[in-house]
Amino acid sequence: MWNIMDQTHTSAIEEDIALVQSYIPLVEFLGLALGSSTEVVLHDVAHPDQSVIAIANGHVSGRSIGSPSTDLMYKVLRDGIRDGKDYVIGYEAHSVLHDIPLVSSTFFIRREGRIVGALCLNTDPSAFVTVKQSIERLGALYFPNLQPASASTEHTGVQEENLVASVSDMAADTITAMCVRRGISAHKLSVDDRLSIIRTLNERGYFRFKGAIGTVADQLGVAESSVYRYLHTIQKNK
């Protein structure tokens, strides 16, 4: 009985992987069709530590094949998608390579109702923003009393996403942000600061990755047992 069940489970996984891999030819095509400012990424959710199995224009976020899944992917797999849609469009994604958020959209690949992969587009709008700012400065010279129109976008239910090239980068981004806010180095962070960092990483699904505890411990300059203790405190206070 167990052998039959194991074989069935293995067969299902293989079929999931085959379905996601069937989208690989689309990645190069979309990368060429949409241009070098749009990154196209294919994720296999079965392997969150190395979910990126194909990528075009990876220079946009600095990722490559073998990069991990994102916090958005973790949240969707955990909580589902509002209205049961197969996609989310026009949300912000953040990368350490850009001060300006990327404009992103994701199509979720399903098999038998389950999300087994995702095809993502991340566009760098820097050139448009530069032109927009130039026009605004020019407009201020000639039309100083002109009021800018309010931008209105459809609410997608997705707030943001953080794109990282490695598991180490995800921890480093969060720790660096805290250090910048405090104006101190990582080893001088208070216990409350460290708890805040661990809480943020936990909410983003960071600790589902292999080696995550050791990585964040090294970057914070604490023992792995301290990170486990912080996690226990966070979960106890939920």
Confidence of residue 154 (pLDDT cuts 50, 70, 90): very low
For the segment 206-226, the average pLDDT, to the nearest whole number, is 91
- 93: alpha, beta or left? (left if phi > 0; alpha if psi -120 to 50): beta
Confidence of residue 152 (pLDDT cuts 50, 70, 90): very low
pLDDT at position 3 is 57
pLDDT at position 185 is 85
By CB atoms closer than 10 A (0-12, 13-18, 19+), residue 47 is middle
Confidence of residue 160 (pLDDT cuts 50, 70, 90): low
Confidence of residue 148 (pLDDT cuts 50, 70, 90): low
pLDDT at position 21 is 96
Q: Residue 205's closest CA among 179, 175, 171? A: 171
Is residue 44 within a helix (H) or strand (E), and if so which, with residue range? strand 38-44
pLDDT at position 223 is 93
pLDDT beyond 90 at 163: no
Q: Residue 49's closest CA among 168, 159, 158, 200? A: 168
Contacts of 199 (CB under 8 A, 6+ apart): 234
Percent of the chain whose predicted confidence (pLDDT) is above 90: 46
All domains of the chain in start order, with CATH: 2-127 (3.30.450.40), 166-236 (no CATH)
**18: helix, strand or coil:** helix
Of residues 50 and 177, more confidently modeled: 50
The one-character DSSP state at 68 is P
For the segment 181-190, the average pLDDT, to the nearest whole number, is 86
pLDDT beyond 50 at 74: yes
